[in-house]
Structure 1
Amino acid sequence: MSDNNPVLMAVALAAAVIGGVGYHSLGLRNNNPMNIVYNQANNWVGQKGRNGRFATFKTEKYGIRAGAILLHNYMYRYGLRSVGSVIGRFAPTNENNTGKYSKFVANEMGVSEWGYRLGDNDLVPLIRAIIHYENGSCPFSVAFVSGVVRNAI
């Protein structure tokens, strides 16, 4: 079988689209599955540069690591402890439909958007829900994201 077999390539593409893998998304191509906006002041470990307004990373682990640190800072440095307040800062209304985003993330996590107090144990489901919203799915397992978060914080 040739790697350039058009039938096999079409089947693989259809499986990815139907399965919701989302590898075609900008966030996944940038190894930045949370679509963290590039900021010159942030010198994230593993950051390669930028693609338009978004940071690019060497691997998806580095992109998720940066997101975990960012969300942890929102929660503990800035006191943002609800899904609504975290998403309000992460995805502000001048860039996103923040209300829709926040409701989606809270629903994915199975918690109240404003009434649930986030803690360390919520970082993995929060990250996975953000990745899902940003890319149409979350192709990363709980174990994978947990390992990245554990090493980041």
Structure 2
Amino acid sequence: MSYNFILDYIGYDGKRIDEAIKEMQAPISLKWYIQAFTLHELGHAIDRKALLDSLTQTFEYYEMKKNHPIYEQYSDPDLLAMLIEEHKMNIVFEETAWANAEKLNRDFGIVDWVIFEKLKNQGMATYLNLYTKDLQLYNKLLAEQTEQIA
């Protein structure tokens, strides 16, 4: 599921939802998954102003990706630094959306808390793992640059 903050709607990809449910370590029903991630996407909608405020920065990341092939993005420390900045921005938006979803769930009691936490952890792990992987590569590139200078 995803929230399009520009056009202000929530969308979904049925195939991706099915894959995500299968990726769970413990089985989760489709109902629980849809409810938890709908709350999460509503959490993004609650944060829409901040998302809209990030549009200029988001556009800069988009332009960089459009103008530089993937291999260049991952071999140039300056370009990779931009990807890392984007990861950090996205992680903040994800944390905020989950916090908003948690408040909604507290107010309305829609999703079992154990399941909610499992889905939250799965959702956050996607962003955190990509960030960690890119940060490790960035640190490696910087170390290689330092060795070449010395």
Query: Which TM-score band (shorter chain)?
Result: under 0.3
TM-score scaled to structure 1, two decimals?
A: 0.27
Bigger Rg over Cα:
2
| Higher RCO (Cα < 8 Å, 6 or more apart) | 2
Greater helix share, 1 or 2?
A: 2
